[in-house]
Structure 1
Amino acid sequence: MLTISENKKTLLKDEKPFFYLADTCWSAFTNITDDEWDYYLYKRKVQGFNTIQINILPQWDASATDLVYEPFVDHDPYQINDAYFEHAKEMCKKAKAQGFELALVVLWCNYVPGTWASNFMKDHILPFDCLDGYITKVDETFSEFQPMYVISGDTDFETDETISYYVKAAATLKKLAPKCLYTTHIKGRYTYIPENLYAYLDFLFYQSGHNAQDLSMPYSLSETMQQTYPDKPLINSEPCYEEMGYSRQMYGRWTRYDVRRAAYVSVLSGACAGITYGAGGIYSWHKVNKSFAKFLGEGFDDPKSWEEAMAFPGAWDYGYLKTMLENLNIQSLEARQDLLLNDTNDIRVAKANNGIYLVYVPCNTKVRLDLDCSAYKLQTIDLENRFVANTAYEIKEGKTILAIHPFQDDVLVVIKK
């Protein structure tokens, strides 16, 4: 059973520390065959993932599929398709049997009036009076697995009508499943949560997203969220996805380095309850010679197939982040940018609950810290190759200067007594 830690920064599972490491598989219930699901669970488990994020209803930008899994009979939201939910339930049983937790999105924004997506896709909006039947079915199908219910998906809150949908869903579901944890998945580069919805939430998501024009988003959004909504665990639930095209039809794709950087700067900024990985080709479950919906919203470039995407190396990097924190017995992190003397916020400094300092250096340079490290041992980890070097440094007037490290790309400096 998942609960909130006493420190209000992290999660517990059966009273033990739980670092939320999720993979994004929004289209699982509509696009994945049983054999594909078996392989997917196997691979993500060995990579260290412990949570899967899934959209309960069909994802608006899922890739085309020959499968016919529809939640409503004849697309009528008043007629629940029991077979759809029974199949989804069986998929959840398999995931739970492999040790995964589930983060299930209840209402993606295209199903709710007044959101950025429903303004494009008006024929997908659910009538308000069908919510009781739908939420009841969600509870009957999934609550036995004690999932984390993600009330909203990629949403903004521009109208009172929009907010009323999400408050209705949260209030109804929380009454039916009070032991589950609740959060929202808000749109990229967005930090606002309405007060009457916030009251139902146990922990918070933000998404730094896929816009390449401002690379500060993983940490700047975290800082804003912590200032505005203190005392709830925080997770970047949608950093940039590996090999996904930049948003807004901008030319370029996110690399392994990009997605790794997003993870480390998010967690070291204080969003330390966990992190979510995503891969182009996985979230939409793309297959060779099938079309990809890119006509709406962010306008992403075509993905590679799910088979190719399962081999992307960034997933192993995310598993390593979780393993490294566990091996160092780090259960929470507090951002300590006040210790950084370099004129940048892209280098991130954090202090762990056990007194260890972590410094993430995305690009090779000397690092100056307002910290006397003479009583500490310093090691530099090459995050791409997992090589470890003893860190060369000098102390001047109580401050520490870390020499340029011997590796090619980003590193994590571990400072411990």
Structure 2
Amino acid sequence: MNFSKGIVYIFLLTLINLQSQNLRVSNNGRFLEKENGEPFFWMADTAWELFHRCSLEESEMYLKKRQEQGFNVVQAVALAELDGLNTPNFYGEIPIINNDPTQPNEAYFSHIDKIIQLADELGIYIALLPTWGDKLFKESWGIGPEIFNEINAAVYGEWIGNRYKNYDNIIWVIGGDRNPRNGSKDINIWNALAEGIVKGVGGYDKTFMTFHPQPKELGGSSTWFHQQKWLDLNMHQTGHCGNRPTYKNIQHDYNLIPTKPVLDGEPLYEDHPNCFNAKELGYSSADDIRRIMYWNVFAGACGQTYGCHDVWQMYKLDRKGVNGPLRPWPMALDLPMANQVKHLKSLMLSQAYYTRIPDQSMILDNQIEDQNYVIATRDSEGSYAMIYFPTGKRTKIDFTNLNGNNFETHWFDPRTGVKFKGPQINKNTQLITPPTKGKGNDWVLIVEILN
């Protein structure tokens, strides 16, 4: 191959790698991958109001920034939360006519088309919510109006599925911050929407779909839809408090039959009032968010969603903020955790991917379920292990599930992505002391066998 042809070849390879491919579940049912078999670690940002509040230029700026920071999924809503039916988008368009889901407004969805295409060019998947949940059930904080029933949900689902059936970077997300009510038709309506999308796209094998719930103990989407054929991925919302053992939600769904991937689709956001009580509890800190993310993934999640309280609502000074945002959304794009999530993704992709399992039997100390909780994951074949220490607590670790007797260890810094040589260990149980300790001093110990 001559030099000029080589340059063209490299360019084409780069272009092919950047372009989106349909996602699917891995053979073991635990992880996600592209259709060419390449592992896909879900690293999402929450941008619920992207389609509703942003211009095309703002959307492009946002997407380019998130791509640079290592995000590969953006979660956004067509019929948006913040009066999304009756407050027009940036260009003065509303999404549907007369609040009728069977009468979509072409001009509104043409804007969404352009944003999805921009994302595709950047290799970003859009986790597309056809509607926010208040359009089915307002509860106390929703604006609504409530417009969906089983019939029009199916019609709208088929229409929007057909519209985006040729896009490879669509992940369908049913729901929208609502749990189905007992004694209601909510489950039937959400199923009708999902099945309508399947029909519009052209089959279950052509969709990748999940459900976005409210916070709930243990099961999230699995509570109502685990057995549904359209549900490929279980999703949780673990809420906006920094003191919850979120790994329990992941563990619950990890153990369900049939096996399906699971992740946390809405954790504590950056810049968010802790438990919605800024006056007494202040705002979230980066280390609390990191802890939740690493806990979830080490417990068996196939990825993780990040969110920023200023960004999801696309807050600006001339808009009424929801729950006390701290700064305009363009300024919030560079908050610490937004630049640290890539380290988690890189770490998980650095080892054998499809054979990774959670293994708390490696942690020998009795643990209180607080912010110090140490969690472990390893290769099922015994070639490596990773142990996450949220506060640098000295802990007894059992390495007998690893093959061989000689190990190489490294400390991984979740704040910077820097890795350096760790302690000498052997097959016997070891008391492991991280480099530093205290709140904000979280570390990952990487242990690999030496052949």
TM-score norm. by structure 1 comes to 0.89
Distance 1:167 1:65 in 2: 28
Once the two structures are superposed, what CA deviation does each residue of 1:323-349 show, in whole Å capped at 9, x if it has no partner?
Answer: 122233434531111110122251110
Q: What is the Cα deviation at residue 78 of structure 1?
A: 4.4
Of structures 1 and 2, the one with the larger relative CO (CA 8 A, separation 6+) is 1
Equivalent residue runs for 1:9-408 within 5 Å: 9-14=30-35, 15-60=37-82, 67=90, 68-113=92-137, 117-118=138-139, 120-121=141-142, 123-128=144-149, 129-146=151-168, 147-159=170-182, 160-177=184-201, 178=203, 179-190=206-217, 191-192=219-220, 193-195=223-225, 198-212=228-242, 214-217=243-246, 219-249=247-277, 251-271=281-301, 273-293=302-322, 300-344=323-367, 346-353=373-380, 355-372=383-400, 374-392=405-423, 398-406=428-436
Q: Following TM superposition, by how much is the alpha carbon of 1:76 offset from its aligned partner in structure 2, in angstroms?
A: 4.2
CA–CA distance in structure 2, aligned partners of residues 174 and 41 of structure 1: 27
| RMSD (Å) for aligned C-alpha atoms | 2.4
Q: What is the identity, as a one-letter code, of the residue corresponding to 2:446?
A: V
Residues 149 and 181 in structure 1, CA contact (< 8 A), matched pair in contact too: yes
Q: CA deviation at 1:46?
A: 1.3
- Percent of aligned positions with the same letter in both sequences? 22
Q: Is the 8 A contact 1:205 1:235 kept in 2?
A: yes
Q: Distance in 2 between matches of 1:267 and 1:24?
A: 18
Shift of 1:137: 2.9
SS in 2 for 1:183: strand
> How far apart are residue 224 of structure 1 and its match?
1.5
Matching residue's letter, 1:34: L
Bigger drift between 183-192 and 202-211 goes to: 183-192
Structure 1: segments with no counterpart, 5+ residues: 294-299
Asked if 1 retains the 8 angstrom alpha-carbon contact of 2:153 and 2:190, the reply is no
Residue 28 (structure 1) shift? 0.9
Aligned-partner SS, 1:334: strand
Alignment deviations for residues 345-366 of structure 1 (CA, whole Å, 9 cap, x no partner): 5111011356210100001221
Task: Identify which range, 219-228 or 403-412, moves more after superposition.
Answer: 403-412
Q: CA offsets, 1:227-254, max 9 Å, x none?
A: 3455101111111111111234353211
The residue number in structure 2 matching 1:296 is none
Give the SS at the match of 2:75.
strand
Residues 169 and 313 (structure 1), Cα distance of their counterparts in 2 relative to 1, 3 Å cut: same
On the 8 A contact 2:409/2:421 being kept in 1, the answer is yes
Partners of 2:23 and 2:162 lie apart in 1 by 19
Gapped runs of 5+ residues in structure 2?
A: 1-21
Return the alpha-carbon distance in structure 2 between the equivalents of residues 230 and 339 of structure 1: 26
- State how far apart, in whole Å, the 1-side matches of 2:96 and 2:57 are: 24
Distance 1:133 1:386, change over 3 A: closer
| C-alpha distance in 1 between matches for 2:216 and 2:335 | 25
User: In 1, distance between residues paired with 2:108 and 2:129?
Assistant: 16
Partner of 1:297: none
Q: 1:206 to 1:246 in 2, by over 3 A?
A: same
**Segment of structure 1 superposing worse, 376-385 or 300-309:** 300-309
